[in-house]
Amino acid sequence: QVQLVESGGGLVQAGGSLRLSCAASGRAASTHVKGWFRQAPGKEREFVSGIVSAITWSIGRTYYTDSVKGRFTISRDNAKNTVYLQMNSLKPEDTAVYYCAATNTAPGMDVTRPSDYDYWGQGTQVTVSS
């Protein structure tokens, strides 16, 4: 059963933009936390951005890793069960496979930690040429 499907990756020149989409279905669609991670060849999977739905301790909060702050924007369309990652001013070091992930909130969870997520997409390649 497919839960998360990413799209929107591709090849772009440095300074360009891409918008990634993540369509959620099934149980993944009802999760409160959606995240974007990326993994470059030979490197560990790293957190890029996350968005948390309204809950008692974090209402509509967004998170970004320092290297993408001011360049990337995460958003969600609840009616479409879709999360977006708008990526502007792309750099060659942004080149990676980008993964969408989803989970529900839980005490002690860390939105930046991959192991805290229950559902993962198949990934979409983003390549930024210099």
What whole-number distance in Å separates Cα of residue 89 and Cα of residue 13? 9
pLDDT of residue 31: 87
The stretch 113-123 carries a mean pLDDT of 96
* Residue pLDDT, tens place only, 44-93: 999 999 998 865 555 678 999 999 999 999 999 888 999 999 999 999 99
Angle of CA points 12, 25, 126, to nearest 5°: 15
Phi, psi for residue 39 in degrees, rounded to 5: -140, 120
